Amino acid sequence: HDKRKHAPIFIQKTYEMINTCDPSIASWTDDGSMFSIKDQKLFAERVIPQFFDHSNFSSFSRQLNFYMFRKIQARAIYKDDYKESAKYVTFFNKHFHREKPELLKEIKRTTNRTQNAASQHEQQNEIEMLREKVELLETLQKSQNDRIAALEALILKGSPKRDSDA
């Protein structure tokens, strides 16, 4: 019984594509939660046509966007790591995971209208959460400022004034 059975065809093909691709062209990230296209040109020429009726990376990327995949910016831990991974295009969708093919059926293609409504709702929730965090940080900052002012007052009060030691 194939766990991917009820996932959209595009998603099934993409999952198969990443699982069978030459790892020097595209592969899963180490933890399996994302996949990276390491060589867009070779991916478009050699890999995409094996699964789809075209060899256009932009079209493939646009389809991923319709399925709520997000491009993740490469971040280097060390300066030297960045050179190689900066060229990679990494995609993430919380239901697209190497070890969890049963989640693929949760990935749905969105229309702009439903995508906009859902993302606007998500954005409103995120904005509200960020507002609360900012309020908390402002309160903590004020408290720290008050403590610093009190300490400065103690220091100034306790230190004798010196004109000069001459």
What pLDDT does 120 receive? 74
pLDDT of residue 72: 84
pLDDT reported for residue 10: 95
Strand order, beta sheet including 89-92: 26-28, 34-37, 89-92, 70-72
For residues 15 and 104, the answer to whether their CB atoms sit within 8 Å is yes
Q: For residues 97 and 119, which has the higher predicted lDDT (pLDDT)? A: 97
Taking only the tens place, the pLDDT of each residue in 45-89 is 999 999 999 999 999 999 999 999 999 876 555 555 545 556 789
**Whole-number average pLDDT of the chain:** 84
